Amino acid sequence: MTMFRFLALVLFAGVHSASSPPRIVGGEPTSVENYPSIVQVDTINPLDNMWLQGCAGSILNIRYILSAAHCFEGSSFSPILRRIRAGASHRNTGGSIIYVEHAYNHPSYGLRGFDGDISVVKLISAIIYSPVIQRTSILSQGYIIPDNVPVVYAGWGQIGNGQPPSSVLLDVSVLTVSKEICRKGYAVLIDSPEVTENMICAGLPEIGGRGSCNGDSGGPLYLGNITIGVISWGGLCGYAAYPGVNTNVASYSDWIVATAV
């Protein structure tokens, strides 16, 4: 069984660790009022026609969201099998439902592991803003995020390795981790994806216990109220040696702005 994980809950299964702490991992319940730009990305199961949250995203403007490319790919992918739920704190209930028209995965995705794991997703109809539905902000192209900066994950993903997804939005504070430390951690794993310059690692490398997990894919990594990362992949959830790996939004800001029009 592979030790590294991909974070789309519907598409990939997690591995089990009996010592894993509960929650996002290590987070606390919060409300969409605190993160009004976050959305759930739902996938329909064609066998039972049930929609379930499997990824997340961030609102760019009234017609586009930002998410992970691996949430919008595969031989069975079709835009009609995806929708978003905005303005909801609880998983799979409440908020506003809007269906997907098209997903623009970055053209570099798939050429070098998970480099370019970012998607600008066009919606069929416009989002209606409200106090719990707002657009996010992103940094300008090339902005460099320092190491050891406090940042925040938010999402509805699994609350630990082999554990169920959260029924309510969770958030957790972590630190940005240097690529040198991040690469050393993943170097021991067979077939681990490469940690590239277009990624941001975030976790607690000294102690672990906090981080993103399966089902958080495509969701935001926040610096203040700015979306600096898109949750992409990682090792065991909340494990000290394997910080979560996120697509660095500032590596793609110009492409995002040019696409989401």
Q: Which residues are catalytic?
A: 70, 117, 217
Q: Do 117 and 227 form a contact (C-beta atoms < 8 A)?
A: no
User: Could you tell me the two tokens for 41?
Assistant: 């990305």
**What CA–CA distance (Å, rounded) separates 77 from 54?**
13
Q: Do 255 and 248 form a contact (C-beta atoms < 8 A)?
A: no
Q: For residue 33, give the DSSP letter.
A: G
Cβ neighbours for 252, distance < 8 A, ≥ 6 positions apart: 106, 116, 118, 141, 198
Helices (H), 142-213: 179-186
Pick from 259, 229, 256: nearest CA to 243: 229
